[in-house]
Amino acid sequence: MKIKFFTCIAKNGNEAVVCHGAGKNIEDFKNNYSGNGELLQIKEHETALYNGEVFYEFLENVLKKSNYGYNEINHILAILKENEK
């Protein structure tokens, strides 16, 4: 399974923020994040396959950049690792 990660600028009125997220493809990403305002400059990032430590390191960095907390990140990674079994 290939997970794609995206970065974009979400513009909501006069404010613009960087938004990080994942999706099956760009349309899936837009559907999931469209409630955050107008999505501009969507960029897809290269990712590893959905397994292995490279993927988890990459995901952890994306979540940190998205201001997820330490416990939230650990829970997300634990759930994904458990579902690999």
User: Per-residue pLDDT for 15 more than 60?
Assistant: yes
Furthest-apart CA atoms within the chain: distance in Å:
46
Look at the alpha carbons of 75, 76, 77, 83 in this order and tell me if their dihedral is positive or negative: positive
23: confidence class by pLDDT, cuts 50, 70, 90:
confident
Give residue 25's pLDDT. 85
pLDDT single digits (tens) 28-74: 888 888 776 788 889 988 665 555 677 788 889 999 999 999 999 99
* φ/ψ of residue 45, rounded to 5: -105, 145
Instruction: Give this prediction's pTM.
Output: 0.52
Give residue 68's pLDDT. 93
Domain boundaries, the chain: 1-47, 48-85
